[in-house]
Amino acid sequence: MSLIQALATSLSGLNATQTSLAVVAGNVASAQTPGYVDRTAVQVATTTGDSESVRIASINRLLDQFVQQQLRTETSGGAYADLRAGFFQQLQQVYGQPGSDSRLDAVFNKFTTAVQALATSPSSTSAQGATINAAQALAQQLNSATASIQALRTRADQGIAGDVQQVNEALKQIATINEKLAGDNTNDGAAAALADQRDQAIDQLAKLMDIHVVPGSGNQVSVFTGSGTSLVTGNQAAQLAFTSSGNIAATQQWNAKPSKSTLGTVTLQFPDGSSTDLVANKAIRSGEIAAYLDMRDNVLVQAQSQIDEFAAQMSRALSDTTTPGSAAAVGPQSGFDVDIGGVLPGNSIHITYTDAGNVAHNLTIIRCDDPTALPLSNSVTPDPTDTVVGVNFTGGPASVVAQLTAALGATGLQFSNPAGTTLRVLNDVANTITVNNASTTTTATSLTAGGPALPLFLDGAAPFTGAITGAGPESTGFAGRITVNSALLANPTALVAYQPSTPIGDSTRPNFIYNQLVNASPLYSPATGIGGATAPFQGTLSAYLGAVVSAQGQAATTAQNLQSGQDIVVNALKTRFDETAGVNIDTELSHLLTLQNAYGANARVMTTVKQMLDTLLQL
Amino acid sequence: MAISGIGGNVSPLLQSVLTIDKQLQDLQRQLGTGQKSDTYSGLGSQSSVAVGLGAQLDATASYDNTISIVGTTIDLAQTVLSQVAKSGSALKSSAAQAPFDPDNSGVTTVQRTAQGALDTVLAELNTQGTNGYLFSGSGLNQQSVDTSSHILNGNGSQAGLIQVIAERRQADLGSGLGRLVISAPTPTSVAVSEDVAGSPFGFKLAGVSSSLTGATVTGPAGSPSSISVDLGPGNPNAGDSLTYKFSLPDGSSETLTLQATNSTTPGPGQFTIGATSVVTAANLNAAITTGVGQLAQTSLSAASAMAAGNDFFGNPPQRVAGPPFATATAQVAGTAANTVFWYTGQNGPQPARSTAVARIDPSIVVSYGLRANEQGVRAIVQNAAVLAATSYAASNPNAPASYIALNQRADIALAVPPGVQSIQNIEEDLASAKAAMSDATGRHRQTNLTLTNMLQQIEGVSNDQVAAQLLSLQTTLSASLSTTARLAQTSLLNYLAPVAG
């Protein structure tokens, strides 16, 4: 043990203190740097022979990994809730501001008010004009509501595209850093900085989709989707692929079957070349992408179907007429004759009969000329009690009879075509079943079809009949295509004149329109989310609009509440995380004081050694 | 969303400050707009109630609008109806009293009054309301009635009332005996018969009564109907009488009484008892012929004019099947080609009232349609027109009697018999519609008030409440801000002494 030894020891102390000081300086300087994790220098004492010295063994990042994992999970949920709440708030704009004149229900009310005024003054050209204008305003409101909803879907679609790009960059970055850190077991400042960067990439990823991070040996991490599919292993990163669809139309919808889907899906491409559909497998459950997908494929599709249903029911309430069949009897058999000459695709024939067990049955026979759409499901009508049979009419009455016999022969009902376009439905010869009623529902295609019903609204330029094709029901996106019949624009007196000889003061047709708008109480499709499948919503158009606005309002409120709750959780976790990982200036300054003292002490030792050496030399 | 500090450090205080700031902004918006929320989601569970209330309020407003439009129309119609009724009653009192005072063109004071009344009434009936002609049923764009000139004088090939009256007069009078045939089947008897069975024209035999001693009276019987009086072998006594009763085309009746007298110069309504019953029968025959001829010129002429009026103002108008008219035995419906149709509005099977209906309440409908050819209105137009259409030659000895007969009939016809619609009935219909509307208006006012209050409770805000909330938030915000500031200052940095040097 010599003085020189002491000098060397205090020199190592000075060095270690300087390094620690650098770490403190780094902490203070980076206190506000995003993703920076508080560092601490770990000093160890070393002994060589009987000489003691000190050195910095490693620079450690101070973080609570459990809280970090928790925070990432909740960050996904927070981003999901944020985005949904934002979309729901924007969707609220479609229904307008309460109390304003432009809200959807107010525009509808204005239309009924105008019709009521027309019923009072059928001959007044200004009342006719006001009715047409109000109808146009309503059609335009529905058009623009559709445009708004589809614009939101387009935004969601583009959002997915942007997010997928960010996901891919983050995945690549994680893999790259994994590679850089691989095999390097030193924990120096550079490694800590890389780890910071990787954590930031993972945090970014957690915002976009739900992930699960598993730390491995040798500074490696593996990243999985919430459902367990691997995204990053070592230096291998999978990549997401998504094709944005540009401007989305109401008829474009995602489907699990790629052949039926008209919208892009998110696929995961593995480094080995294989791929999997993350949307079809429901592998993305949280984060921004899940929120975008939910909006694009569920929430906004349903919002669209709600206003489509409104437009369809309103249009059909004005244009459809139900004609009862006439009683028919052949020998011991009895039943009804209905004229199917005016039945258009989407129009229907209703038959009620009682079977041998005295159980009443409802039959709805729908004209459906697209063979790819057949057979029809019972759910194409909102009525939960009816059996639906789709029939292709293109082969003429004989073919209709053949198809009905094939589909319904087992019930005992007998169909025939006695003449022309007459369809006859009879019970069995033994009279064990009873045909109670038969009627047809047809759509008026001309303004002077004879009755007060009229095609006031059109689907583009064609009458809206609710036809069902392989591509789906005509009602999909109808709210975006609904227009006021151009023949009415050219000739507003047709609002009154339902026959060529109708006197100008005859209020039959305006009264019919008003009554249908205000009092008609149809069943609404449960696919709109209003009402259930077994007890569909039944009510006036105004009541249905109220139900829609209320349901959407509730959904928006729920989304907002979820968001607020999630915010609190995320904030609490962030605070907890930062308690450990954040730079505390007070702590750093107290470290600074300690280090300053240690440095001073080491220097003092050296001064003393120098003085002792001087003393020795002066001997 | 979660708020991060610049360095990603969460500042819970900063978060709460921002939340308060957002609440402040929302309260400011509430204060400015008076609306609780600018989206339906902000109304919470009551949003569907708000939609329903909005629809109800709009419906009530539209009903009130209807009531105001219909009210105006009904007011106008009531004015017209009271004017028409006034003309009708003025004409009635004039017809009841006026003396026979034809001017040199054969027009009397009553006729001038009738012409004036006709012009006024027709002009009134063509009144237009906001939506069109008031008295045209649902044919609001069709003028309700034709002009008095067309109605009286015809229009080109279309016959007017004057021509229809003239034709009917020929048909009713026939050869001058009102389509009766007076014959002597035996030397001692006189038979009075209708010329053709079932003909609507001329006198119809309604009955006979006799106090002629020894005479046999039969009938009215047979086809065509006939009354026969056989004096028998002996003569009746002086003072015995025979009375025929005739029905006239307008539904009135007349009697012709003939009294036996010994005077060789019998007065009107008398016949001379001759040497034998054969001579007496001849005298009786001559007296009947004179009496019937005179009745035909006076009462029958007037009744014929009244009946022609009824024919002309019917729908369709009835014309005498002819020419020749004097021997006509049936009527035919006039066509638009040959007859003026006085009512030019809409006709149809439904009652006039239901040609204009308005919904003034979810469950109440008022009917206020009017047609000029409703019985109450038509009676006034028809009688005024008939009075205006006849003229009298001062030289005609029967003119005064005919004139009085017509005036009496018009006077009776203008007094509406019970069971027939009068113009007052129409006014009552409109008045009850107005009463229903006035009740509905009151109800709507009440409903409106209630609904508006409810809607205000859902959609609106109380300014006091918002102001109080604003104040309390302001306090919280300034407390939060000063706490944040103080916390930010409590850093060791501020308490370390500067390094000496």
Dump pLDDT digits (tens) for B413-429: 888 777 788 888 889 98
pLDDT at A334 over 80: yes
**B-chain residues within 8 Å CB-CB of A586?**
491-492
Residue A409: C-alpha distances to residues A361, A399, A405, A413 (Å): 14, 14, 5, 6
Contacts of B62 in chain A (CB under 8 A): 112-113, 116-117
Handedness of CA A570, A572, A573, A575 (dihedral sign): positive
pLDDT of B12 reads: 65
For residues B124 and B91, give the distance between their C-alpha atoms in angstroms, rounded to a whole number.
16
> pTM, whole model, 2 decimals?
0.81
Residue-level pLDDT at A78: 93
**Measured between alpha carbons, how far is B365 from A294 in angstroms, rounded to an integer?**
50
Cβ-Cβ contacts under 8 Å, A103 against chain B: 54
Chain A environment of B136 (Cβ under 8 Å): 505
What is the phi/psi pair of residue A254, to 5°? -75, 140
Determine the residue among B47, B135, B457 to mutate to test chain A binding: the one whose Cβ has the most chain A Cβ atoms within 10 Å: B47
Average pLDDT for residues A147-171, to the nearest whole number?
94
Closest Cα to residue A391, out of A416, A408, A379? A408
Q: B38, A97: Cβ pair inside 8 Å?
A: yes
Give me the pLDDT at residue B415, please. Answer: 83
Average pLDDT for residues A9-27, to the nearest whole number?
90
Token pair, residue A337, equals 């004759």
Pairwise CA distance, residues B320 & B170, whole Å: 9
Are the Cβ atoms of A571 and B8 closer than 8 angstroms?
no
Nearest CA in chain B to A503: B139
In this predicted structure, what is the pLDDT of residue B1?
45
Q: Residue A56's pLDDT band (boundaries 50, 70, 90)? A: confident
Shortest Cα distance, chain B CAs vs residue A34, angstroms: 5
pLDDT of residue B224: 85
Total Cβ atoms within 10 A of residue B265: 7
Asked if A32 and B130 come within 8 Å (Cβ–Cβ), the reply is no
Q: Give the one of A92, A518, A550 whose C-beta lies nearest to B39's C-beta.
A: A92
Whether the Cβ atoms of residue A287 and residue A80 lie closer than 8 Å to each other: yes
pLDDT at A470 over 70: yes
pLDDT digits (tens, 9 = 90+) for A540-554: 999 999 899 888 988
Mean pLDDT (whole number) for A426-447: 91
Task: Give the model's pLDDT for residue B345.
Answer: 87
Chain A: give the shortest CA distance to residue B7, in Å.
4
Of chain B, the percentage scoring pLDDT greater than 70 comes to 96
Strand partners, B272: B261
Output the pLDDT for position B501.
41
- pLDDT of res. A165: 94
Q: Does the CA dihedral A117-A122-A124-A127 come out positive or negative? A: positive
Cβ contact B59–A122 (<8 Å): no
Cβ of B492 within 8 Å of Cβ of A88? The answer is: no
Is any Cβ of chain B less than 8 angstroms from the Cβ of A33? yes
Regions in chain B scoring below 50 on pLDDT: 1-10, 500-501
